[in-house]
Amino acid sequence: MAKKKTETTNNLEVEQIITEMPVEASATEMPKTVTLDVSTDFDVERQRKKQRAAKITQNVFVYIFLTICAVLAFLPFYWMVISSLKTEPEYRQSNPTFFPHTFQWKNYPAVLAQSDNNGSNFWQILLNTLVVGFFSTTIGVFVTVLTAYALARMNFKGKNALFALMLATMMIPGEMYTLTNYLTVSAMDWQDTFTVMIVPFLVSVYYIYLLRNNFMQIPNSLYQAAKVDGLSDFGYLVKVMIPLTAPTLVSITLLKFIGTWNSYIWPRLINTSSWQMITNWVTRGFSDKDIMYPNKFGDSIYSSESLTTLKMAAVCMVSLPLFILFIFCRKYIMRGVSKSGTKG
Least Cα distance to 334 among 217, 236, 255, 241 occurs for 255
Q: Are 205 and 170 within 8 A, CB to CB? A: yes
Q: Write down the least CB distance from residue 179 to another protein, Å.
A: 5
CB of 175 to another protein, least distance (A): 5
Contact indicator for 308, 83 with CB cutoff of 8 Å: yes
Shortest distance in whole angstroms from residue 148 CB to another protein: 9
Between the two ends of the chain, the Cα-to-Cα distance in Å is 60
In the bound state with another protein, the residue whose beta carbon lies nearer, of 106 and 339, is 339
When the beta carbons of 40 and 335 are compared against another protein, the nearer one is: 335
Q: How far is the CB of 228 from another protein (least distance, A)?
A: 5
Cα–Cα distance between 192 and 135 in angstroms, integer?
17
Q: Which is nearer to another protein, 44 or 334 (CB)?
A: 334
Minimum CB distance to another protein smaller for 40 or for 320: 320
CA–CA gap between residue 132 and residue 126 (Å, rounded): 10
Which residues are registered as beta bridge partners of 292? 302
CB of 246 vs another protein, minimal distance in Å: 20
Minimum CB–partner distance for residue 192 and another protein (Å): 18
CA dist., res. 10 & res. 223, Å (int): 63
User: Closest distance between another protein and the C-beta of residue 251, in Å?
Assistant: 12
CA–CA dist 304, 318 (Å, integer): 23
Report the alpha-carbon angle 278-70-282, nearest 5. 15
The vertex-333 CA angle with 167 and 154, nearest 5°, equals 40
Pick the closer one to another protein by CB: 40 or 290.
290
Nearer to another protein, 120 or 144 (CB): 144
Cα–Cα distance measured from residue 150 to residue 234, given in angstroms and rounded to the nearest whole number: 11
**Residue number with CB closer to another protein (190 or 275):** 190
Q: Compute the half-sphere exposure of residue 38: CA atoms within 13 Å on the CB side of its CA.
A: 22
